[in-house]
Structures are given as C-alpha cells and as structure tokens.
A = this chain, B = another copy of it.
Amino acid sequence: MSEIFIGVDLGGTNIKIGCFDSELKIIGKTSVSTQADMGPDAVVSKMAQTAEELLTGENLSLDNVSAVGMGAPGPARYKEGVVIAAANMPKFKNVPIRQMLSERLGKPVIFENDANAACWGEFVLGAGKGVSDMVFFTLGTGIGGGIICDGKLVYGFADNAAELGHTIVYPGGRLCGCGQRGCVEAYASANSTAKRALEALEAGVQSSLKDVLDEKGEITCKDVYEHLAAGDELAKQITDETAKALALVCVNMLHITEPKRIVYAGGMIGAGKLLLRRIRDYFSEYIWFLKAETVEICFATLGRDAGIIGAAALAKKAFEEGQFDQQ
C-alpha cells in the first residue's frame, strides 16, 4: 500500500485538508467551514469525516494513511497536542485535539502551530528550498512567524518561539492588541494597514481612499493596495511605513538567527513587488557595513496550500523518524 500523509490546517473560519503521496505531491485537497461554535467534538468529527471523504474521492481509504499533521493557531501546548485557547474559536479551551483526532481516525497525528506548519511547507517545498536557515512571516490580520535554524524549527522552551509579530520595532509606539507598544504587527499587519489609512483620512489627509471610505464606511488592506497600484500618495506612505518596520525586523533577525532567506506569506503580499522592493531598500539602508550581507528577502510560493503541505510534511518527518512509535 502506498504511504499517504494527510495535512490539516485548522482555522477559525475554514478547515483545509490535503492528502499527499510519500513524495509530498498533492493528490487532492478540500476546504470546509469550521463552524467552531459547534464545539471541539463536532469540529473534530467534521475534520475526520472530511478527510475520509477526500480519501474516498481519490479511491483511497484510511488504510493507506501513514500519519496526519494538523496546524492550528496558538496559544497551545503543541508537544502535548492541547489547544489552550483560540481567538476565533471561543469554545476551544484546553482541548486535547491531537488525541481526539487521532482516536477518531485511528492514525497517529502530529500537532503544530499553524505558522510553523506553513513555514515548514515553504521550507520543504516552497520559497525556502535549498537553504538550511530561514525566517518566515505570515502577514495577515496579525503577523505570525516561523524560524528554521540548521534545518530545524525553533520551538522555544514552552513552544511559543517565533511570535515574530510581537517583536518591538518602535519602543513607545503604536499600541498592539497584545498590550505591548511598537510591535511590528501594529505597523505591518493587514489590520494595521487599514487602521493607519483610516486614521490618516480622519486626520484630513488627501487621498483617493477617501471616496472608498465615504462609499463603504470602511477601508481594508486590499483597498490600500489597490490605490497604491493606482499611484495614491497616502497608500504609498502607508506601504512605506510597513516596509520600514519589516526591514528593521529583517536586520534584527539577520543578527539573531542569521537566516539565508527571509520569506513573507499571507494576504499582505498582495501589495506585490513594490512592497518587496521597499523592504529590500530599507534593509540595505539600515544594515551595518561590517560585512556584506547576502540574505535573500522574498515572497512565499505555495500560497494558501503552505499550511496543509507543511502539516503533511511534518507528519511524514515524524513518521519516518519513528516519533509515533511511543504514542
């Protein structure tokens, strides 16, 4: 029987599931709404059922599956497989989700932070291919991160390393949802992009975004990038601020774990080449002159599949390394 690996990306809105062959080539994938308000038991049943249907549709069954990988947002005790709490899934409190899914499927399951899973996906099959040291950012509503040193994910002493959105770039700066001031998330997330645009318009700054606000009553990150493409000055300024904050974190990460590649994923990369170019420009401006740096700053390549690919790849790795033998 061929060895199949399943990757699950559990989000507050959707559950994405993919099945992969032993070379991590995707066989099939699907997405269903999480309906997290139904509670953990119902969500686990839905995950299991969806995985089984996906397999059936590909003329496969659970018998073909070697292991399952699942990514989910923190905070969690990843090694134990327990979700402590989840902002978008209020009914999930201290849920032993790894064990629940494993028992429901009769398969070993590995449980991982969602940003780490996506980071691992990009590392193995995407923008991180061919390097051993990488830093990964998901620029979404908030900012998540993943760090790979010498081919291994960095977990930290309590599995909460790589909370890169909450590194402070401007002490005393903008208030972040986490309670700190000056976090990069408060300058470079999708939420912050929209919020900074709104603040500027409310302060009377002239911009084509004003029409959007008047019409829709709100501004989104997507609006900002559309008006950036159209040459709006305010959209340019906001993107510039975003790039500065991200470039400062690049400088710091270079001096901390010294990655060969820094990879950005998430909705914010919709800003396109202009954002990337500005990050690179500010990095060159800020970085020391003690030696020339060759770090590559680039966008992710796997899109929304990074999470399921990474989860499946981590399941494969754990399976091959015999990590499930004790479970």
A286 touches B180 (CB 8 A): yes
Complex Cα gap A149–B161 (Å):
10
A154 touches B158 (CB 8 A): no
- With a CB–CB cut-off of 8 A, which chain B residues contact A252? 167-168, 252
Complex Cα gap A149–B259 (Å):
15
A258 touches B160 (CB 8 A): yes
Complex Cα gap A168–B259 (Å):
17
B75 touches A290 (CB 8 A): yes
Tell me the residues in window 164-204 of chain A with beta carbons closer than 8 Å to chain B beta carbons: 164, 166-171, 176, 178-181
* Per-position 1/0 for A61-91, Cβ under 8 A of B: 0000000000000010000000000000000
A256 interfacial by beta-carbon distance below 8 Å: yes
A288 touches B166 (CB 8 A): yes
A114 interfacial by beta-carbon distance below 8 Å: no
B291 touches A257 (CB 8 A): no
B167 touches A169 (CB 8 A): no
A180: contacting residue among B156, B170, B179, B251, CB under 8 A: B251
Complex Cα gap A167–B254 (Å):
9
A163 to chain B, nearest CB (A): 4
A157 touches B178 (CB 8 A): no
A237 to chain B, nearest CB (A): 17
A9 interfacial by beta-carbon distance below 8 Å: no
- With a CB–CB cut-off of 8 A, which chain B residues contact A168? 169, 248, 251-252, 286
Tell me the residues in window 271-308 of chain A with beta carbons closer than 8 Å to chain B beta carbons: 286-291, 294
A161 touches B256 (CB 8 A): yes
- With a CB–CB cut-off of 8 A, which chain B residues contact A251? 167-168, 180
A260 interfacial by beta-carbon distance below 8 Å: yes
A218 to chain B, nearest CB (A): 26
A161: contacting residue among B75, B248, B258, B291, CB under 8 A: B258
**What are 14 A-B pairs at a CB distance below 8 A?**
A75-B291, A147-B256, A156-B259, A157-B260, A160-B258, A161-B257, A161-B258, A163-B258, A168-B248, A168-B252, A171-B286, A180-B288, A253-B256, A256-B257
| Inter-chain pairs besides A147-B257, A256-B256, 15 sampled, C-beta below 8 Å | A75-B290, A149-B149, A149-B161, A157-B259, A158-B294, A159-B258, A161-B256, A164-B256, A168-B169, A168-B248, A169-B171, A171-B244, A171-B286, A178-B289, A178-B290
Question: Which 5 A-B residue pairs are closest in the complex by CB-CB distance?
Answer: A156-B258, A179-B289, A178-B288, A157-B260, A161-B258
Q: Which residues of A contact B (CB under 8 A)?
A: 75, 131-133, 147, 149-150, 152, 154-164, 166-171, 176, 178-181, 244, 248, 251-253, 255-260, 286-291, 294
